[in-house]
Structure formats: structure tokens, C-alpha cells
Amino acid sequence: MKKFGILGFDFESPNKGCEALTYSFINMLIDCFGSDLKIINYSYGGLGTFPQKYPKIDFEIRRPQIKNPLDWKKMKKEMSNLDMIFDVTFGDGFSDIYGKMWNVTTDILKELAIQSGKPLILLPQTYGPYKSSFLRMWAEHIVNKSYAAYSRDTASATEMNSKCGGKVKVLTDMAFALPYDRGLYQIDDTKTNIGINVSALLWDSDYARDNKFNLKINYRSYIRSLIQKLLEDDTYVIHLIPHVIAKEDYNAAENDVRPCSELKKEFLNNERVVCAPAFENPIGAKSYIANMDVFMGARMHSTIGALSAGVATIPFAYSKKFKTMFGNLHYDYTIEARELDTEAALEQTQTYIREYKTLAEAAKEASKITKEKLGVLKKDMAHLGKTDM
């Protein structure tokens, strides 16, 4: 039995993108090593439904006591009994953009993995940005001491490699491998179905109110105006699709269901504005999105789901992670919200929608690239598993 530790993974999260990374990675592990596995998740969350979905795998949660240095010693010893340790830092968390203490917490776990003497593999993720020079240097140290490091984009890998001797290999986001079943939903395909992921992060969170992402676009105005303009064409059906879903707390800061519901009320009398369901898991979300002709989203993993299902995809880029990752796939149809004003973004979005068949072809080509890149990751993982480390 192989014993793996994993860092920066969510098994049950309102954010379906974080869960998508977990589903995709677990499936990769099975492809590489079979199901006779013990997986220890160093996390504060639970295991969700994963033990039921993967009954042959022995899952365990290890809750770190980061404020207790005595627990650091314990974790280091526990990690020394594992075969390998994999980290993904939730895709874009290897940075201080979400707060310095968050970054310190996740870096301590990586540091303990390195000190355990077992191989730490940094899975495809974004590196940086950093405001703190100390946290940047610590990240460079972690990358240099890791057994292998992968990025999901060229730009952050290039920046990190300037101090890490080319250590970081550029691949792509693991969530491109998430399975889906278009047949789970019956959606009228005689209409042009346009999916819009409305992000609560950009709609009314503290980040939005303080414009911490330095957007030139007024997001609320952009979304409302886009819906109004699309409704002028009676062949369009607009689907409001959440991708962060807090079922237990409607008013949670990042619950996408809330802005979707608010918009549905604004367009209450129009049957061509549809609210998608509050999905149980990312596979359900991707399966619904796969039925769209066009999909525009601000949650990056919602756009990853769309593109990998061959849907014409318009990523709404509120940070550099969009352009760098999609650009790495030669997919150049993002809306750059830090560069365009609201009117220019609306015009560009409508142009992309009119040309959606061209985007769909580009999405299929980009999806082929992701399969090749993730194939490299699986080969590397299988090789690492056979190596006497």
C-alpha cells in the first residue's frame, strides 16, 4: 500500500473549483498507483463523500495545530513514514494575496514536509504574486528543496525559475481532467444557451467593495448590462451558474447562489433567464456547463470546466492567473478586467459570443493540449512512485 500525504486540498468546500482539483488528483493517483492507497489530508476540513465514492482508498484527516510548535515535531515524524507528499495550495494559494498569515500557515506545512526527508511534489499551481520579500524568499527556498515542482502557467513559473534554476516545469491545471456527464441535465438545445458564472467575490464581497483586484470594470454593471443586451436576441437563453455554493449559509461572503438569485429576481418575468441548480459537487457543475454553447465566468475553475468540455469559453480575468494559464494553452479570449473599462468589456464579450463557434474550436484545441500536459504529470508521478527515494 502506498501512503501519501496531501497539502492544500479540499474534500468538502463551497468552492467547487477546489473540490475539482481533489477529484482530478485522486483519479490521477488511481491511474498511476491503483486504489490500494492511504491518503492523509493535512486539513481543517472534512472528507466529504470521498470515502463513499472511493471505498478502496483509506482516507484520513490530520488537523494541524499550526500555533503549537510541539505539533510541528509530531507532524514531521508522521510525514517521515509516508512515501510521498503532494501539495497544490488550492491552486492559487502559494502567494500572500489572501493574507500573510494564510501564506505562513501553508508554508509551514510544506517546510515540515521537506524536513521530514520525504519527497515533496509541488503539483501544478500558480506561484506568487508576493508583496512580502520574506515570503517570496521562503517560497523560493521551498521550491528549491522540493523533489519536483510544476506550474499551471508560464508567467509565474518563469518568475520563480529566475531564482530556482529552472526547477519549475510548466504544465496546466489538474482540474482540466475532471470527468463530467452532459446527459445529467436536459437542456433545450434548439436555443443558444449562454452560461454566466456570477462571482460573489466580485459582486459584493469585501474584495469587491474595496476593489482589491484593481478592476477597471464595474462588475455589477457589466453583468446586468450583458444580460440585458443578450435578451435582445430571442434565440438566447441565459443560465446564471454558481460555482462557489454555500448551502448552509445563503449570506456567506462568497456564495455565488446569492448574486444569481438576485439577478433572477431582477429579470423575474423573463423565462429566458434561468438559475442553474446549487450543485452538490464539481462534476455536477461541469456536467451542466457542458450543455452551454457559450460560457463566461469569473471563477477560474468554472472556465476550466467549460473549456475542457469543448464549450466556447470567455474567462473574466480579475487577476493575472487567467491570462497566463489560458495563454499557455494558446487560448486568447479572456476579458481583461484590470485593463478594459465596462463598455469596452461589454463590446468584446458580445463579439466573442457572436463568434462562439470559433471559440469552441479553439477550446477543443486547447483541451487537447491539456491532455498532453497532464499526461506528462501522470508519467512523472508513476516514475516517482517506482523510484527508490
Same fold, 2-170 and 182-367: yes
Give the 3-state secondary structure of residue 19. helix
Q: For 101-133, how does the pLDDT look when each residue is reduced to its tens digit (9 = 90+)?
A: 999 999 999 999 999 999 999 999 999 999 999
**pLDDT tens-digit map of 131-188:** 999 999 999 999 999 999 999 999 999 999 999 999 999 999 999 999 999 999 999 9
Weakly modelled stretches of the chain, pLDDT under 70 = 387-389
Long-range contacts of 245-252 (CB under 8 A, 24+ apart): 245/14, 245/16, 245/278, 245/279, 246/14, 247/14, 247/278, 252/14, 252/200
Could you tell me the pTM of the whole model? 0.92
* CATH architecture of the domain formed by 182-367: 3-Layer(aba) Sandwich (3.40)
* C-alpha cell, 261: 438569485
Considering the domain 2-170, what is its CATH architecture? 3-Layer(aba) Sandwich (3.40)
Check residue 223 and give its pLDDT: 98
Task: Evaluate the omega torsion of the peptide bond into residue 129 and state whether it is cis, within 30 degrees of 0.
Answer: yes
Cross-sheet strand order for the sheet of 120-125:
58-62, 37-42, 2-7, 84-87, 120-125, 148-151, 168-170
Position 172 scores a pLDDT of 96
User: What is the CA angle 163-166-168, rounded to 5?
Assistant: 100
SS3 labels along 119-164: CEEEEEECECCCCCHHHHHHHHHHHHHCCEEEECCHHHHHHHHHHH
Q: What is the pLDDT of residue 143?
A: 98
State the residue for C-alpha cell 506550474: 151
**Joined grid coordinates for residue 52:** 463513499
The span from the CA of 170 to the CA of 167, in Å, is: 10
The answer to whether the Cα torsion of 156, 171, 14, 222 is positive or negative is: positive
pLDDT for the residue numbered 320? 81
Phi and psi at residue 332, to the nearest 5°: -115, 45
Rounded Cα distance between 150 and 123, Å, is: 5
Q: Where exactly are the structural domains of the chain?
A: 2-170, 182-367
